[in-house]
């Protein structure tokens, strides 16, 4: 084979030879590559890059194994492609290049793809390889034969390509195997070294030694130097190949070179490679070179030394191929250099070679693994080294850069020289060199590529992993996407903040800046509270059973109400009072008018009968309850001259009205003669009566039973018992107050003969000009005294008290007061007035009887009592007795003559007339005991019943005697006998009273005559009896003066 | 072999992304962190980042199994400007969901959106 090759090399290249040559070359290349690889593994530890990746390596060791296998496969592939390409012949270089680069890429991909299924793949590969190995082993035995056959066939190029390929493949396999075994051997050799330190030391020593040895070599063996340089270059390249790209580039270049080989046959391959290396070096860039210079240099030297050693080993190998002796020699060669270590390695080498040659590769896998592990171990072990190396490198840099430059220059020169002398070079040398070179180049390539691949791995691993994951995910996603529907979600509004307009913004930021609270509302909690329910009104009421008239019920609050009512009703009361009086006036006027017409006609008719009468008026006494009653008294009010009262005695005749035993007193208004204004009732006989002083609002009466009774004429008619007689309803008034049995101790025990109201000291009340309506007097509680005289001379003074309020229920204290009555009598004092003139007189005349009494109109302290002795006692109610003590007849002596009447002159109030029972009439002056005048027998011996001064003429008085003769005296005309004497025999006059009013324009004067029949006749005097004459009072004065 | 792979293409109901719960998480954190805060443009980027992390951690602990979470926090100053934010997703509406919450005070607004995407 050698010879063949050599021959062919020296001669012109035949295609077959070339092919074979290349095959061998490839074989050698591979071999060298592997070896270099191993070397690299030793040295690689020194590289910074590797050190950097060491941690990763640990984790990736597992993965490296398969990768190694794939690397081998890739190599195979490459070879395949290479062969194919070669078959295709001359192709466009460019295209090839591109394809190569593409292939590289493909390779990468494939590697990755392979990794995905590594386990399985690995097994497959392994099996396949084993199979192939077996096959190849069989074939290998025939290889030599085949080759020879090939060569014999020589120029017959019509060789079956298939077979060629198969061969090639076979060869490649073999090469791989060799390569692997070689590597193994190396590793064993090195691992055998054991201690790292020792290794280092040895290496250093070796290096030094080699350097010494190198110099001579360099000097005379330029070629070798060149080679070394190339190797160094390769080493450097290996060091520098950190970037994959560069690495790839390099690979591609190698690829190119390989391609170029068949094409440019004329060229010396060595030269090509030189230039290429130069190119590479240039390409790598000086900066990098410079950077690694020291290291390079150092390493280069070490490499050189090693290469040399290897070359020495290779040379025998190549030359003698599987000659164990030679290799042994080389090993021994080495061993004598490196003492102990080399021996081991030699043994190993030997064993390896033997193994490589003959041994069936049963332990291939194990070895392989072992190798990897050892490699890794080496790497691990080498870790601590780099710093030292780095230091060394730095020390060396400066000195050695120059050296390196010099060497480079030398290399360039040699390259040129080689280029020119290419054709002339000795084939043998070339031949010899070529493998070396190719080994170097291949070494650089293989060294670079595995190294590059490795680096690539580390870097690519990540990519690979991510790609793996990506593909996995992609697969996932493709599978999942079938299952899943993706859809667009609704557009979701995450935030929609409307812009604030400027005003709002302004207000928000500055709106409150200048404001302040200007007012505060306080007292918010002062709320009103309302109570919905209303207060319950409560009032007290009382009731009485059985109900009597309207006072059966009432209430204490009524007073208030009543007062209010009274105040409110005051006007109405006044109105009713007014109406009453007004109506009375109207009635009076009407009746007057009627009566006047009647009386006028009557008067004319009666003119004859009564000479003094100007007319008469008949009071309507024809009432059922007055029927058959005798009138005992007729009395006129001194103030209200038109008011008259008539006392009707009880009758013995039975009548329809059951008031027989009662005395009836009728109050008349003389201008209203048709009916009495009020009717008063008393159970017993009334002896005397009088009106209240002032207005005729009360009537007092003294009774035969010794009681004093009082009627309040103001009481309402409803308070009294009313009786319907015929068509008219009459109210019979019971006395308001009665002293009957009430004041037993202080009352009268005999019949009361006279009652007189005590005139007030102020004599105003006596004046006739008292207004008709004395409302003040009426309403104001009037208070005056009343005196009552009984037969035995007991004079009682009473105080008339008007209660402020009437009590309907009656008074428990005032038992004499009628329920509802307001006026009562309080006993004031009692006087015993019966004084005998002398005891002798009394004895003569019997007991003294007080028959009549009068108060002095001007002084209420003085009162005059008419007695049954014909004397008028003059007494005072209090104080000293005033003279004269009594008023007597003109002749001395006492006669038992009753004083029937005493009457003071309304004009001369100190003059009074006294009528006696013997018919004599005396005119007395208060100051004198003896009378001013005495007229005897004027009545013809008839007792005087009543005598009265006329109201209008001071000198005229009327005398009624018991024989019903009326005598009218006019002292002015005749002071010795009466002017007129009328005898009324037909109907006897039982009582008479003079009335008249002089104060007013229509002066009238008359006399009321009560007849026996019960009629009351009002006779008006004629004009000469009515109208006063100016000389009258003077006449009276003259009479008085004449008398005293 | 791969054809026989089984996939869990729907989350178990109890692990499903529930936006109400997430919203509550967001609200809680945002209220806690942002109440009374004033907008500070320098702090806000850091703030939003930490907010997003907090929210993400919290939501992770909420037990949404096999969910990939995306938390988006936007903090802006309130100056009366109009803001409109919206999102649109291409997803599997059966499994994926989102939750968002807006926090506002006088000075700033904060929009937090958490998207949960189911990892088949």
Tens digit of pLDDT for each residue in A968-1001? 888 888 878 888 888 877 778 888 888 887 666 6
Chain A residues with CB-CB distance to B9 below 8 A:
480, 483-484
pLDDT at position B50, please?
92
Enumerate residues 6+ apart whose C-beta is below 8 A from A129.
Answer: A173, A364
Whether residue A640 contacts residue A695, with contact meaning beta carbons closer than 8 Å, is answered with yes
pLDDT at position A236, please?
47
Tokens at A503, concatenated: 């005003």
**By CA distance, what is B100's nearest residue in A?**
A494
Average pLDDT value for residue range A702-725: 82
Among the partner-chain residues A475, A504, A508, the one whose CB lies closest to the CB of B2 is A475
Whether residue A443 contacts residue A35, with contact meaning beta carbons closer than 8 Å, is answered with yes
Chain B residues with CB-CB distance to A497 below 8 A:
81-84, 109
Nearest alpha-carbon partner for A318 in A441, A149, A439, A152: A439
Distance of alpha carbon A820 from alpha carbon A712, whole angstroms: 11
B86: closest CA of chain A, how far (Å): 4
What letters, b where the CB count within 10 A reaches 16 and e where it falls short, cover A458-487? bebbeebeebeeeeeeeeeeeeeeeebeee
Computed over every residue of chain A, the mean pLDDT equals 65
Q: Which of A157-166, A626-635, A941-950 has the lowest average pLDDT?
A: A157-166
What letters, b where the CB count within 10 A reaches 16 and e where it falls short, cover A922-952? bbbbbeeebbbbbbeebbeebbbbbbbbbbb
**CB count in 10 Å sphere of residue B13:** 7
- Looking at per-residue pLDDT, the higher value among A141 and A848 belongs to A848
Confidence of residue B70 (pLDDT cuts 50, 70, 90): very high
Instruction: Tell me: ipTM over 0.85.
Output: no
Which residues from A are below 8 Å from B when comparing CB atoms?
Answer: 475-476, 479-480, 483-500, 504-505, 508
Q: Tens digit of pLDDT for each residue in A657-680?
A: 566 678 888 888 877 777 888 888
Q: Do A496 and B92 touch (CB under 8 A)?
A: no
Token pair 């085949």: residue: A146
Distance of alpha carbon A818 from alpha carbon A831, whole angstroms: 28
Token pair 């009037």: residue: A782
Among A56-65, A101-110, A761-770, name the most confident range. A101-110
Enumerate residues 6+ apart whose C-beta is below 8 A from A199.
Answer: A190, A193, A341
Q: Which of A117, A480, A482, A497 to mutate to test the interface with B (most CBs of B within 10 A)?
A: A497
For residue A384, give the DSSP letter: T
Q: Do B93 and A499 touch (CB under 8 A)?
A: no
Average pLDDT value for residue range A165-179: 64
**CB count in 10 Å sphere of residue A524:** 7
Q: Do B9 and A483 touch (CB under 8 A)?
A: yes
Q: Do A492 and B86 touch (CB under 8 A)?
A: yes
Chain B residues with CB-CB distance to A479 below 8 A:
2, 5, 7
**By CA distance, what is A477's nearest residue in B?**
B120
Distances (CA, A) of A843 to A370, A745, A793: 202, 29, 17
pLDDT at position A359, please?
44
Model confidence pTM above 0.80: no
E strand or H helix that includes residue A234: helix A222-240
Strand, coil or helix: what is A187? helix
Average pLDDT value for residue range B95-105: 89
Rounded (10°) CA dihedral A51, A55, A58, A62 = -100
Among the partner-chain residues A476, A486, A504, the one whose CB lies closest to the CB of B91 is A486
Chain A residues with CB-CB distance to B7 below 8 A:
476, 479-480, 483
Average pLDDT value for residue range A839-847: 54
Q: Do A505 and B93 touch (CB under 8 A)?
A: no
Chain A residues with CB-CB distance to B85 below 8 A:
493-496
Q: Which of B22, B68, B89, B97 to mutate to test the interface with A (most CBs of A within 10 A)?
A: B89
Q: Which of A422-436, A628-642, A868-882, A910-924 has the lowest average pLDDT?
A: A422-436
Enumerate residues 6+ apart whose C-beta is below 8 A from A96.
Answer: A85, A255, A256, A259
**By CA distance, what is B112's nearest residue in A?**
A494
Q: Do A479 and B9 touch (CB under 8 A)?
A: no
Whether residue A896 contacts residue A869, with contact meaning beta carbons closer than 8 Å, is answered with yes
**By CA distance, what is B7's nearest residue in A?**
A480
A501: closest CA of chain B, how far (Å): 7
> Is pLDDT above 90 for A654?
no
Whether residue A624 contacts residue A725, with contact meaning beta carbons closer than 8 Å, is answered with yes
């Amino acid at each position: 084979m050698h010879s063949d090759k050599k021959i062919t090399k020296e001669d012109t290249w035949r295609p077959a030879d070339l092919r074979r040559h290349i095959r061998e070359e490839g074989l050698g290349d591979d071999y060298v590559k592997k070896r270099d690889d191993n070397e690299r593994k030793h040295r690689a530890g020194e590289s910074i890059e590797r050190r950097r990746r060491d941690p990763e390596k640990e984790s990736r060791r597992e993965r490296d194994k398969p990768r190694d296998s794939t690397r081998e496969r890739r190599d195979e592939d490459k070879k395949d492609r290479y062969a194919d390409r070669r078959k295709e012949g001359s192709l466009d270089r460019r295209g090839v290049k591109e394809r190569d680069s593409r292939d590289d890429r493909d390779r990468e991909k494939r590697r990755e793809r392979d990794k995905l299924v590594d386990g399985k793949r690995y097994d497959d590969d392994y099996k396949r390889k084993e199979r192939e190995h077996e096959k190849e082993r069989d074939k290998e035995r025939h290889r030599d034969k085949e080759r020879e056959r090939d060569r014999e066939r020589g120029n017959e190029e019509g060789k079956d390509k298939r077979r060629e390929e198969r061969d090639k493949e076979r060869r490649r396999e073999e090469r791989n195997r060799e390569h692997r075994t070689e590597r193994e051997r190396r590793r064993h050799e090195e691992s055998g070294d054991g201690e790292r330190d020792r290794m280092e030391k040895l290496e250093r020593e070796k290096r030094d030694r080699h350097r010494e040895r190198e110099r001579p070599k360099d000097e005379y063996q330029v070629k070798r130097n060149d080679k070394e340089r190339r190797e160094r270059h390769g080493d450097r390249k290996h060091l520098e190949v950190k970037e994959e790209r560069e690495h790839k580039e390099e690979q591609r270049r190698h690829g190119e070179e390989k391609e170029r080989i068949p094409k440019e046959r004329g060229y010396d391959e060595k030269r090509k490679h030189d230039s290429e290396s130069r190119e590479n070096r240039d390409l790598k860039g000086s900066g990098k070179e410079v950077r690694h210079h020291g290291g390079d240099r150092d390493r280069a030297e070490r490499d050189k030394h090693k290469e040399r050693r290897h070359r020495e080993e290779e040379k025998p190998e190549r030359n003698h191929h599987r000659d164990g002796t030679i290799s042994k020699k080389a090993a021994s060669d080495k061993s004598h250099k490196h003492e102990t270590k080399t021996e081991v390695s030699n043994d190993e080498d030997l064993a390896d070679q033997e193994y490589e040659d003959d041994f069936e590769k049963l332990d291939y896998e194990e070895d392989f693994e072992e190798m990897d592990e050892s490699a890794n171990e080496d790497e691990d072990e080498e870790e601590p080294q780099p710093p030292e190396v780095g230091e060394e490198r730095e020390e060396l840099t400066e000195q050695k850069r120059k050296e390196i430059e010099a060497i480079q220059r030398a290399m360039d020169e040699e390259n040129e020289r080689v280029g020119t002398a290419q054709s002339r070079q000795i084939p043998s040398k070339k031949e010899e060199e070529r493998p070396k070179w190719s080994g170097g180049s291949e070494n650089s390539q293989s060294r670079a590529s595995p190294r590059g691949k490795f680096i690539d791995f580390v870097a690519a691993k990540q990519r690979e992993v991510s790609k793996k994951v990506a593909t996995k995910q992609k697969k996932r996603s493709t599978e999942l996407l079938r299952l899943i529907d993706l859809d667009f979600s609704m557009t979701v509004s995450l935030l929609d903040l409307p812009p604030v307009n400027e005003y709002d913004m302004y207000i928000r930021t500055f709106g409150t800046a200048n404001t302040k609270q200007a007012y505060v509302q306080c007292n918010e909690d002062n709320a009103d509270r309302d109570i919905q329910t209303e207060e319950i009104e409560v009032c007290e009421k009382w009731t009485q059973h059985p109900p009597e008239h309207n006072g059966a019920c009432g209430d204490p609050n009524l007073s208030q109400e009543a007062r209010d009512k009274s105040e409110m009703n005051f006007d109405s009361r006044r109105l009713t009072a007014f109406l009453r009086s007004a109506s009375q006036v109207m009635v009076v006027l009407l009746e007057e008018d009627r009566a006047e017409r009647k009386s006028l006609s009557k008067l004319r008719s009666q003119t004859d009968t009564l000479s003094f009468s100007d007319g008469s008026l008949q009071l309507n006494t024809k009432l059922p309850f007055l029927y058959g009653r005798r009138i005992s008294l007729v009395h006129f009010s001194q103030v209200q001259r038109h008011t008259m009262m008539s006392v009707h005695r009880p009758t013995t005749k039975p009548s329809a009205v059951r008031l027989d035993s009662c005395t009836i007193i009728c109050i008349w208004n003389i201008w209203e003669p048709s009916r009495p204004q009020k009717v008063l009732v008393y159970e017993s006989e009334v002896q005397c009566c009088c009106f209240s002083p002032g207005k005729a609002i009360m009537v007092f009466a003294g009774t035969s039973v010794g009681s004093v009774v009082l009627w309040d004429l103001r009481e309402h008619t409803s308070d009294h018992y009313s009786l319907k007689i015929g068509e008219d309803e009459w109210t019979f008034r019971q006395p308001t107050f009665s002293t009957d049995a009430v004041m037993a101790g202080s009352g009268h025990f005999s019949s009361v003969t006279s009652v007189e109201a005590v005139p007030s000291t102020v004599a105003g009340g006596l004046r006739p000009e008292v207004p008709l309506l004395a409302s003040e007097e009426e309403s104001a509680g009037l208070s005056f005294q009343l005196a009552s005289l009984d037969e035995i001379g007991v004079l009682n003074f009473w105080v008339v008290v008007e209660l402020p309020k009437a009590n309907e229920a009656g008074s428990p204290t005032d038992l004499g007061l009628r329920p509802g009555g307001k006026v009562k009598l309080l006993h004031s004092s009692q006087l015993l007035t019966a004084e005998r003139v002398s005891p002798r007189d009394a004895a003569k005349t019997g007991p003294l009887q007080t028959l009549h009494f009068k108060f002095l109109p001007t002084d209420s302290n003085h009162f005059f009592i008419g007695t049954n002795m014909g004397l008028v006692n003059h007494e005072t109610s209090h104080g000293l007795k005033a003279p004269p003590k009594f008023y007597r007849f003109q002749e001395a002596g006492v006669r038992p003559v009753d004083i029937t009447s005493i009457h003071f002159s309304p004009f001369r109030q100190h003059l009074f007339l006294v009528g006696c029972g013997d018919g004599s009439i005396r005119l007395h002056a208060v100051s004198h005991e003896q009378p001013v005048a005495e007229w005897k027998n004027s009545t013809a011996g008839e007792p005087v019943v009543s005598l009265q001064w006329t109201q209008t003429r001071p000198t005229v008085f009327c005398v009624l005697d018991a024989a019903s003769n009326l005598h009218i005296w006019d002292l002015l005309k005749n002071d010795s006998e009466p002017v007129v004497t009328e005898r009324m025999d037909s109907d006897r006059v039982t009582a008479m009273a003079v009335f008249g009013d002089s104060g007013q324009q229509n002066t009238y004067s008359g006399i009321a005559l009560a007849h026996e029949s019960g009629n009351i006749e009002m006779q008006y005097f004629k004009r000469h009896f009515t109208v006063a004459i100016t000389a009258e009072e003077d006449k009276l004065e003259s009479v008085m003066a004449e008398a005293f | 072999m791969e054809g026989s792979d089984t996939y869990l293409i729907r989350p178990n109901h109890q692990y499903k992304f529930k936006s109400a719960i997430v919203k509550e998480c967001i609200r809680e954190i945002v209220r806690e962190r942002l109440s009374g805060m004033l907008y500070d443009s320098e702090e806000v980027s850091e703030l939003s980042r930490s907010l997003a992390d907090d929210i993400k951690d919290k939501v992770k602990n909420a037990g949404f199994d096999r969910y990939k979470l995306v938390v988006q926090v936007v903090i802006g100053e309130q100056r009366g400007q109009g803001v409109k934010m919206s999102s649109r997703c291409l997803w599997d509406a059966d499994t994926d969901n989102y939750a968002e919450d807006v926090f506002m005070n006088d000075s700033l607004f904060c929009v937090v959106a958490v998207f949960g995407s189911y990892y088949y």
